[in-house]
Amino acid sequence: MTPAADAAADYATSAGLLAPYADYLVVNVSSPNTPGLRDLQSVESLRPILVAVREAADAATAGSGGPRVPLLVKIAPDLVDADVDAVADLVLELGLDGVVAVNTTIAHDLGPGGLSGPPLLPRGLDVVRRLRERLGTGPVIIGVGGITTVDDARAYLEAGADLLQGYTAFIYEGPFWASRINRALTTAAPSEPGQ
């Protein structure tokens, strides 16, 4: 395990190796399954990591002639609102491309580790709404957490997400789950009687 003092260099090494091949990079400091990782979500710890990753990614792709690799940060649903705001402000300060909201939660009594799936939906929507209000229209928000039905997906989009990710439903609903959700989202809702 990388000591916290070396986290920025560790993330930067990974970013430098992956940036030439990536469509986008996400700095994940929100997994509850890695001891001490969530401690890096504080702005004081997160800022040097994000700066180092941005510099490493830019250095790795300099001269390629391609576009700059977008950089996002993934946060936990367990952050208090003030910390969500602080991360959003840091995203704006550093000119990051967006936020992935949210990872798994430790707010459960099922033992150690993160819980995913439908229990994440309410807090995930709250975090996405808060981020969109704080970030404005520029940075991308990828909504994730508890998306099972098309109504869940629409709720994230209405809350301000630009893109969606699904994990738990993909496992339980099968490999065609994403295409079913996508088709349902792109199908126009039926109009009300009399319209």
Nearest to 135 by CA among 152, 151, 159, 153: 159
Residue 14 belongs to a domain: yes
Q: 195 pLDDT band (50/70/90 cuts)?
A: very low
Residue 191 belongs to a domain: no
- In angstroms, rounded to a whole number, what is the distance separating the alpha carbons of residues 23 and 170? 22
Residue 195 belongs to a domain: no
Candidates 14, 30, 31, 64; catalytic one: 31
pLDDT surpasses 90 at 154: yes
Q: Which tens digits make up the pLDDT trace of 39-60?
A: 666 888 899 999 999 999 999 9
Q: 112 pLDDT band (50/70/90 cuts)?
A: confident
Domain that holds residue 129: 4-186
Domains: count for the chain: 1
Residue 194 belongs to a domain: no
Residue 85 belongs to a domain: yes
Instruction: Report, as an integer, the average pLDDT of 121-138.
Output: 97
pLDDT surpasses 60 at 131: yes
pLDDT surpasses 90 at 93: yes
> Is 30 one of the catalytic residues?
no
- In angstroms, rounded to a whole number, what is the distance separating the alpha carbons of residues 32 and 10? 18
pLDDT surpasses 50 at 31: yes
Residue 56 belongs to a domain: yes
Residue 10 belongs to a domain: yes
pTM of the full structure: 0.90
Per-residue b/e over 90-113, b at no fewer than 16 CB within 10 Å?
bbeebebbbbbbbbbbbeeeeeee
Residue 193 belongs to a domain: no
Q: 32 pLDDT band (50/70/90 cuts)?
A: low
- What's the CATH number where 61 sits? 3.20.20.70
